[in-house]
Amino acid sequence: MTSMPATVPFVPPWPRTRPVGLAIVAGLACALTVAKAVPVTMDAISGALAPLCATASAAGSPLDTVEPIASYALPNVPGKRVTIVRVFYGPGGFTRAHRHAGSVTAYITKGEIRSQLAGGPLETFKAGQSFFEPPGATHLVSANASNTEPAELMAVFVADEGAQLTTFIE
C-alpha cells in the first residue's frame, strides 16, 4: 500500500494579518504626528511655567528640582489657569520661604514632607496625603523630612493668567 502525502491547502497569510498591519501603520502615523507636536507643546508649557521654576540655588538646596507637567487655561473661569508641577526634594532638601499667587494643593507622592504656613503648626505629610495653601499665604517651611531618602510632591496651582506663581521671601 502506498501512502499519499497529505495535502494542505495554501491559505495566504495576508487576509489574517491585514488588520494587524493596518493597526501598526496607523499607530506609527499617529506617533509621528504626536512626536512633531510634543516639542512645541512642551516648549509652550515650559515657557508658561518659567516664573515658577527658579534655579535650585536661588530656591533652596542644590538637589531639588521643579518639573513642569502641564498648564491649561480654565475655559469655565475666564482669566484663570491651572498649572501642575512635580517637586523633587533630595535628602535634606528644602525650598526657602515663599508665597504663591493663587491657591495650591500639594499631594505627596514619595517620602515625607515637612510644611508650615505662617500662623500654623509645623506638620509632616506622608506619601498619599495632601495639604492646601490659600492664595498669598507665607509658606515658611517646605522640606524633605528625611536626610537620607528623597521626597516628591505634585503641586496644582489655580491662579490668574500670567501671574508669577512663586515669589521667594527675602
Cell of 11: 491559505
Residue 104 has pLDDT above 70, yes or no: yes
Whole-number Å distance between alpha carbons of 153 and 59: 16
Locate the domains of the chain by residue range.
Answer: 56-168
Architecture of domain 56-168: Sandwich (2.60)
Residue-wise pLDDT tens digits, 128-144: 999 999 999 999 999 99
* pLDDT confidence of residue 72: 96
Nearest to 131 by CA among 115, 118, 146: 115
- CB contact set of 169 (below 8 Å; sequence gap of 6+): 96, 97, 98, 99, 138
pLDDT (tens digit per residue) in 51-71: 444 434 445 667 799 999 999
Report pLDDT digits (tens) over 14-61: 555 555 444 444 444 444 444 444 444 444 444 444 444 443 444 566
Whole-number pLDDT of residue 25: 44
Residues in the chain: 170
Burial grade of 19 (CB within 10 A; 0-12, 13-18, 19 or more): exposed
C-alpha span between 160 and 158 (Å, rounded): 7
> What is the distance in angstroms between the CA of the first residue and the CA of the last residue of the chain?
103
- pLDDT band, very low/low/confident/very high, at 74 (cuts 50, 70, 90): very high
